[in-house]
């Protein structure tokens, strides 16, 4: 949806989803409100975002938690059954943070992957062959196909290695005095992990600046739990405060990119390579947003025509 309308809220504000990116910086990445009072207002808007979403959901009163696990339904149910653990502010905050932490990161990752693929047509072709082998041309790729697409998975991993959208992770605070990389760190110190640099460490990676999805194929086979690379691959952070959206994001990204590649032929706008320069921000965007050309794949034409005409809701 594009707008959230707070209805009877005193300020009757409408907030665009585009504002999420703006909110991401002060809220998820760093509590700037602690240092600059002006940011407090943004934090309020952020809480209201969750609140507006909840109000709307309540109005529809179609809680489906027993049959279908919709996140907001589950939170509403918990608010009823465990009100002390899930007071209003916590539930609003959870919804807000899942939107802010989940949308920009996933969208930017997909843009990076597509850009890398357009600069490596041979890799794009291999992804296409893999998808075709498992999903064919008569139906859309679905969740059951995802474990059968190790090459696409590796392409996404390799892109996240080179272009991690959370390059500095999020700030952590040392709960105890400790030593990190030989440096003494007092209790209560803010620590950032330079994921971007770790992913390019020549001690851990052969030819670290090269886009080589194959490097992940063997590893995926050998190590289902992702413990390889000795802490050298951490696009989702790790440990107790690692990204809780990791699996959901990967499912979603593989599915969306898989379907886009299954249904359409993708090309660069001209002969020039896509510019892979990194833009500024705490989430790392591509500096020049990707513009690409696509046309329906001939082999999918029957399927596309039938489904576009009948449902108008293909992907």
What does the DSSP assignment read for 255-302? HHHHHHHHHEEEEESSSSPPP-PBPSSSS--BSS---EEEEE-GGGHH
CA-to-CA dists, residue 35 to 39, 45, 49, 299, angstroms: 9, 18, 23, 57
CA-to-CA dists, residue 305 to 51, 142, 161, 298, angstroms: 41, 19, 37, 11
Q: Which is nearer to ligand HEM, 94 or 299 (CB)?
A: 94
**Secondary structure of residue 15 in the 3-state scheme:** strand
Does position 244 interact with ligand HEM (CB under 6 A)? The reply is yes
Of 102, 150, 208, 226, which one interacts with ligand HEM (CB under 6 A)? 102
Does position 162 interact with ligand HEM (CB under 6 A)? The reply is no
Among 60, 24, 54, smallest CA distance to 42 is for 24
Of 27, 53, 92, 105, which one interacts with ligand HEM (CB under 6 A)? 105
Does position 231 interact with ligand HEM (CB under 6 A)? The reply is no
Does position 249 interact with ligand HEM (CB under 6 A)? The reply is yes
The stretch near ligand HEM (CB under 6 A) out of 84-92, 104-112, 285-293, 301-309 is 104-112
Does position 50 interact with ligand HEM (CB under 6 A)? The reply is no
How far apart are CB 193 and ligand HEM at their closest, in Å? 7
Residue 168, number of CB atoms within 10 A of its CB: 17
Please compute, for residue 181, the number of CA atoms within 13 A of its CA located in the half-sphere on the CB side: 5
Residues 22 and 5: their CA atoms lie apart, in Å, by: 18
Q: Which is nearer to ligand HEM, 210 or 241 (CB)?
A: 241
Does position 70 interact with ligand HEM (CB under 6 A)? The reply is no
Residues 159 and 177: their CA atoms lie apart, in Å, by: 35
The stretch near ligand HEM (CB under 6 A) out of 17-25, 77-85, 134-142, 232-240 is 232-240
Does position 238 interact with ligand HEM (CB under 6 A)? The reply is yes
> Residue numbers of the site for ligand HEM (CB under 6 A)?
97-98, 101-102, 105-106, 109, 165-166, 169-170, 235-238, 241-245, 248-249
Annotated binding site: which residue ranges? 243
Binding-site residues from annotation for heme: 243
């Amino acid at each position: 949806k594009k707008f959230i309308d707070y209805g009877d809220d005193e300020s009757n504000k409408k907030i665009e989803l585009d504002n999420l990116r703006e909110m991401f910086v002060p809220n998820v990445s760093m509590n700037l409100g602690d240092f600059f009072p002006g940011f407090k207002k943004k934090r309020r808007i952020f809480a209201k975002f969750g609140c507006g979403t909840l109000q709307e959901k309540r109005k529809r009163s179609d809680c489906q938690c027993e049959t279908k696990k919709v996140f907001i339904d589950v939170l509403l149910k918990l608010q009823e059954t465990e009100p002390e653990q899930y007071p209003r502010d916590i539930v609003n905050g959870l919804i807000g943070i899942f939107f802010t932490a989940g949308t920009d990161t996933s969208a930017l990752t997909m843009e990076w992957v597509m850009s890398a693929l357009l600069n490596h047509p041979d890799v794009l072709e291999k992804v296409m062959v893999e998808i075709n082998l498992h999903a064919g041309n008569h139906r859309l790729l679905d969740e059951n196909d995802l474990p059968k697409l190790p090459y696409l998975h590796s392409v996404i991993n390799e892109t996240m290695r080179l272009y991690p959208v959370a390059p500095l992770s999020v700030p952590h605070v040392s709960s105890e005095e400790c030593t990190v990389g030989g440096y003494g760190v007092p209790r209560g110190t803010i620590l950032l992990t330079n994921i971007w640099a770790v992913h390019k460490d020549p001690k851990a990676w052969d030819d670290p600046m090269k886009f080589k999805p194959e490097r992940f194929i063997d590893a995926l086979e050998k190590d289902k739990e992702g413990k390889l690379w000795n802490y050298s691959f951490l696009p989702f952070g790790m440990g107790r405060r690692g990204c809780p959206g990791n699996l959901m994001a990967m499912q979603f990204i593989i599915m969306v990119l898989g379907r886009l590649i299954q249904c359409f032929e993708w090309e660069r706008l001209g002969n020039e390579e896509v510019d892979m320069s990194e833009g500024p921000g705490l989430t790392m965007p591509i500096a020049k947003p990707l513009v690409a050309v696509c046309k329906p794949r001939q082999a999918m034409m029957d399927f596309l025509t039938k489904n576009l005409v009948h449902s108008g809701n293909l992907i």
